[in-house]
Structure 1
Amino acid sequence: MKCTSWTISRLSLVATLITATAPLARADVIMDWNAKADAIAAEKQILPAPHSRALTMMHVAMFEAVNAIDHRYAPYKLTLSAERSTSREAAAAVAAHDVLLSIYPDIKPDLDSTLTNSLAPIAEGESKTAGIALGKDAAVQIIQLRANDGSNAPESYRPLTTAGVYVPTAVPLFQTTGATTPWVMTSGSQFRPGPPPALDSEVWTKDVNEIREVGGRGSPTRTPEQTTIGRFWFFVGARTYNPIVKQAAMAKGMDLVDCARLYALTSMTGNDAIVAVFEAKYHYNFWRPITAIRNADLTSNAATPRDPSWLPLGDTPMHPEYPCAHCITSAAISTVLQSVVGDFGEFSLTSPTAPGVTRKWSRLQDYSDEVANARIYAGFHYRFSTEVGKDMGRKIGALVVATQLRGAEAKAEPSR
């Protein structure tokens, strides 16, 4: 049960025979359902925070189900157990289906069809029946676990104004996200950084001037490649890192259980990174470059001149600036992958916001650094914000790897 389909080698009769007789000569069930969840998010235009929540619920349920069969790793929260003969594929597929159905009941026929396709290659019998039951149990318990996680709290951001004075009426996004229950962190504020630099500081002066120059829509100093990178990373959320997780799993030839674990770890990490960064963003409520540069005269800092018509390369995201959300997520995911897999050779990504462009890296650090630089080129984030975001991400990734889904020898250890 490889994460990747067997490759038919013209030079190897043995490989050909293995391919012909393998019980699952198809894409791994973990990856199938990850791709399905991402496709749903793309079609429905689900925002990053709710998509991350759905993915994490799905992948943790899948992991708990398949890990209950051979207990290779310590579980997340559940105490499931099953016979070794139980079908891991059936358990994983049903767990994924039932979690997604609880979140997207309006597409039940589509999800049911996807489940039918997942189960079709599995031989009928007690193994399959037991796997279906196990998957249902895992899904039910994860759904119950997250039923009161605060994700449905009503948004209550109060625009700053005085009576009778107009302010822009678009409501910021993710104002309540920082108060939702993390998967691993003790609270959304666990890794809250110190405040952004003072508006008369050397760091502020340097970084706001940098982004005014390189991040402006008509910047003469930003190179064509930097412009491409900036636009490429207008693409945000879990759909930017799931393909990288897949490439890592495939490069290492992970079996189904290890693959399920990797996706559960990265999903929990990504979700906690989102919680942490939005907790910090709304705690500090720091102004974006477009606001700061157009109002630079308010700071009384003669070294940061006002530009009354300055625009960033792209449309500024609708939430406070500090810290950088894209930076925390990419650094957190990179930290998990580096710890679990290590650098695994060249990997790549395409983006719907830069058609025809493929970005490639050979080191996870280079990927994370590019994401951070892209937010400067885009005119969205100051450099100090990107560095703080990466530092938060590394801490969250390290916490998840150190405490979650560890090897079987860690099951008896007290949780940290």
Structure 2
Amino acid sequence: MRRASYLLILGLVALAVGAPARADAGHQGAETAAAWNELALDAVRVTRATDANATRLYAILNVAMYDAVNGITGERSAALVTGSGHGDPRAAAVAAAHAVLVRLDPDRTAAYDARRDADLAGIHPAHRRNAGARWGAHVGETVVAARADDGSSPPQSQPAGAGPGVFRAEWSGTQYRDVRPFAVADPGAHVPGPPPALDSLDYAAAFAEVALLGNAAIPAPDKLATYQYWSLPAGSVQPAGEWLRIALGVTTDRHLSLDRTVRLLALLGMASADTTVATVRTKYQYRHWRPTTAIREADTDGNPYTQPDPAWAARAGSAGGTPEYVSGHSSYSAAGATVLAGFFCADGIGFTHTTDSAPGGVPRSYPGFAAAAAEAGRSRVFGGQHFEFSNQVGLAVGRGVAREVLAGSLLTVDGPTHIGECPR
């Protein structure tokens, strides 16, 4: 159905049902932003998207909603689309989200159309709703078009490697090492130095730890449960999506307005997407072997303090499908935690959460964002998927990307942009 036709129908519906109460319009707008993100999360689950593809979708969606709303309120710098719009900000957010999802996930167009129509039908007066919807649709279309040539396709792979210290399997998605960032100036600036040398004491210490904690042959129900809680395999919302879900829960609890909600989600989306670039580039550059290979072939590493165990298997049940250094779960988690702490100017905001892969759907409670990120990173050692140095460096990568995004993105146009270290 063409835009003019459905807007005319929505106007007739509005006349028939009458205008709803406006007292909670800001809260309704925040709920609308959350609802469209839930649709994106469902799309990632259904399509079994990779972590890189998922973060790109989340970023595009939330940048579009932010620029649509901000183009009307005009209080902050744009993420991607400059210019001024008119009309109802909530209608703009709805139309922008719809424009993104029907283009990036066309198989569910009917569901997105239905959600758009239902959301717009509840917004009055009609002339402000229609103007906002036109602007939002324009912004959404513009953001998708602007990212069409960002380097995320066609898919590329790195061939399987050989020899001590080298990841053995071919892995796909390596084109993301060169994807155009959303907010950071140079993702390469966040690529860390190399992992410890195979013959070093630091490597031997990390080797010994994961060989014990991540060993499937040693029963450790608590370690297994923590690994599973944060494992987030294909068919889940992926690690960045889980931090998006955490953000949605916190914003709902704190009753944020629409403009604050879309700003937080855009910051989170951009930081996660740019973390992807730095993470994939690091993995591609160093192509470090996973603990399973390292432990089974320790007699080849030249280190007198590592002992081979040809039968060793990871608690996770698999070796891992990408190079080991750095841990992507760690980098995404640190990026998410850093954005949330920076946005609220406080890390110690407690929350209870259930991930997509939580055993038995049992929730966990955390005293703050950094504590959850630390557990997420540590879970990769418990699963036998990563060495601790890859967890720690991954956390540093995510923090660094997020801090750059916070320091320079979506800030106020007039007046001071920071309260201390907290971006406004």
Alignment match of 2:343 (pick from 340, 343, 349): 340
Aligned pair 1:378/2:383, yes or no? yes
Aligned CA distance change for structure 1 residues 308 and 194 (closer, same or farther; 3 Å): same
Counterparts of residues 260-299 of structure 1 (less than 5 Å)? 260-299=262-301
Counterparts of residues 67-78 of structure 1 (less than 5 Å)? 67-78=70-81
Report if aligned partners of 1:181, 1:187 keep a CA contact under 8 Å in 2: no
Counterparts of residues 173-252 of structure 1 (less than 5 Å)? 173-220=172-219, 223-235=220-232, 236-252=238-254
- Equivalent residue for 1:403? 408
- What letter corresponds to residue 137 of structure 1 in structure 2? H
Aligned CA distance change for structure 1 residues 199 and 22 (closer, same or farther; 3 Å): closer
Deviation sequence 1:336-366 (CA, Å, 0-9, x none): 1111112323332333352232121011121
Report if aligned partners of 2:331, 2:395 keep a CA contact under 8 Å in 1: yes
Q: Give the Cα–Cα distance (whole angstroms) in 2 for the partners of residues 412 and 346 of structure 1.
A: 28
Report the Cα offset of residue 170 of structure 1.
Answer: 6.4
Report if aligned partners of 1:96, 1:139 keep a CA contact under 8 Å in 2: yes
Report if aligned partners of 2:161, 2:170 keep a CA contact under 8 Å in 1: no
Please identify, of 20-29 and 310-319, the stretch whose mean Cα deviation from structure 2 is larger: 20-29
SS in structure 2 of the partner of residue 216 of structure 1 = coil
Aligned CA distance change for structure 1 residues 192 and 20 (closer, same or farther; 3 Å): closer
Report the Cα offset of residue 21 of structure 1.
Answer: 5.8
Report the Cα offset of residue 122 of structure 1.
Answer: 1.1
Structure 2: gaps (5+ residues): 1-19, 233-237, 419-424
Q: Give the Cα–Cα distance (whole angstroms) in 1 for the partners of residues 224 and 183 of structure 2.
A: 36
Report if aligned partners of 2:158, 2:174 keep a CA contact under 8 Å in 1: yes
Q: Give the Cα–Cα distance (whole angstroms) in 2 for the partners of residues 383 and 161 of structure 1.
A: 23
Q: Give the Cα–Cα distance (whole angstroms) in 2 for the partners of residues 412 and 356 of structure 1.
A: 41
Report the Cα offset of residue 171 of structure 1.
Answer: 3.9
- Equivalent residue for 2:13? none
- What letter corresponds to residue 55 of structure 1 in structure 2? Y
Structure 1 stretches of 4+ moved >6 Å: 410-413
- Equivalent residue for 2:372? 367
Report if aligned partners of 1:174, 1:319 keep a CA contact under 8 Å in 2: no
Report the Cα offset of residue 179 of structure 1.
Answer: 1.2
Report if aligned partners of 1:228, 1:354 keep a CA contact under 8 Å in 2: yes
- Equivalent residue for 2:146? 145
Report the Cα offset of residue 142 of structure 1.
Answer: 0.7
- What letter corresponds to residue 289 of structure 2 in structure 1? W
Report the Cα offset of residue 66 of structure 1.
Answer: 0.4
Q: Give the Cα–Cα distance (whole angstroms) in 2 for the partners of residues 156 and 350 of structure 1.
A: 29
Aligned CA distance change for structure 1 residues 384 and 305 (closer, same or farther; 3 Å): same
- Equivalent residue for 1:60? 63
Report the Cα offset of residue 52 of structure 1.
Answer: 1.0
- Equivalent residue for 1:349? 354
Alignment match of 1:39 (pick from 42, 51, 57): 42
- Equivalent residue for 2:31? 28
Aligned CA distance change for structure 1 residues 404 and 129 (closer, same or farther; 3 Å): same
Report if aligned partners of 2:157, 2:171 keep a CA contact under 8 Å in 1: no
Report the Cα offset of residue 372 of structure 1.
Answer: 1.2
Q: Give the Cα–Cα distance (whole angstroms) in 2 for the partners of residues 161 and 372 of structure 1.
A: 27
Aligned CA distance change for structure 1 residues 21 and 75 (closer, same or farther; 3 Å): closer
Report the Cα offset of residue 175 of structure 1.
Answer: 1.7
Report if aligned partners of 1:30, 1:92 keep a CA contact under 8 Å in 2: yes
- Equivalent residue for 1:15? none
- Equivalent residue for 1:131? 132
SS in structure 2 of the partner of residue 237 of structure 1 = helix
Q: Give the Cα–Cα distance (whole angstroms) in 2 for the partners of residues 383 and 24 of structure 1.
A: 44
SS in structure 1 of the partner of residue 311 of structure 2 = coil
Q: Give the Cα–Cα distance (whole angstroms) in 1 for the partners of residues 157 and 278 of structure 2.
A: 19
Report if aligned partners of 1:24, 1:121 keep a CA contact under 8 Å in 2: no
Q: Give the Cα–Cα distance (whole angstroms) in 1 for the partners of residues 226 and 342 of structure 2.
A: 27
Deviation sequence 1:223-280 (CA, Å, 0-9, x none): 4222210111111322211121112222332100010000000000011111111100
Aligned pair 1:81/2:84, yes or no? yes
Report if aligned partners of 1:334, 1:365 keep a CA contact under 8 Å in 2: yes
TM normalised by structure 1 equals: 0.88
- Equivalent residue for 1:9? none
| Structure richer in helix, relative to its length | 2
Aligned CA distance change for structure 1 residues 19 and 219 (closer, same or farther; 3 Å): farther
- What letter corresponds to residue 99 of structure 1 in structure 2? V
Please identify, of 144-153 and 373-382, the stretch whose mean Cα deviation from structure 2 is larger: 144-153
Q: Give the Cα–Cα distance (whole angstroms) in 2 for the partners of residues 319 and 94 of structure 1.
A: 37
Aligned CA distance change for structure 1 residues 23 and 181 (closer, same or farther; 3 Å): closer
- Equivalent residue for 2:16? none
Count of aligned positions: 387
Report the Cα offset of residue 46 of structure 1.
Answer: 1.4
Percent of pairs with identical residues = 29
Structure 1: gaps (5+ residues): 1-17, 163-167
SS in structure 1 of the partner of residue 182 of structure 2 = coil
